Amino acid sequence: MHEGFWDRYKIKEIEMKQIGVIGAGSWGTTLADLLASKGYLVTLWAYESDLVERMRVSRENDLYLAGAKLSKNLSFTNDLAEAVHEKELVLFVPPSQVLRPILAEVAALVDPKTLLVSASKGIENGTLKTMSEVFEELLPKAISNRVAYLSGPSFAREVFERLPTAVAVASADKEVLGRVQQLFSTDKFRVYTNSDVRGIEIGGALKNVIALAAGVSDGLGFGHNTRAALITRGLAEIARIGVTKGADALTFSGLAGMGDLVLTCTGDLSRNRTVGIALGQGKKLDDILSDMKMVAEGVKTTLSAYQLARKLDVETPIVDQMYALLYEGKDARQSVADLMVRDLKPEEG
Q: Active-site positions?
A: 207
User: Hey, what amino acid is at 27?
Assistant: W
Query: DSSP assignment, residue 256?
Result: I
**CB 288 within 8 Å of CB 273:** no
* Residue 349: count of CB within 10 angstroms of its CB: 8
- Cα–Cα distance for residue pair 145/139, rounded to 1 Å: 9
DSSP H helices, the chain, are: 3-9, 26-37, 49-58, 80-84, 99-107, 131-138, 141-144, 156-160, 174-184, 197-219, 224-244, 260-266, 271-280, 285-290, 297-312, 317-327, 332-340
- The angle at the Cα of 129, spanning 123 to 130, to the nearest 5 degrees, equals 55
- Cα–Cα distance for residue pair 197/164, rounded to 1 Å: 24
Closest residue by Cα to residue 46 from 81, 74, 20, 78: 78
User: Hey, what amino acid is at 138?
Assistant: L
**How distant is the alpha carbon of residue 271 from its chain centre?**
12
Strand-pair category, 189-194 with 74-77? unpaired
**CB 252 within 8 Å of CB 258:** yes
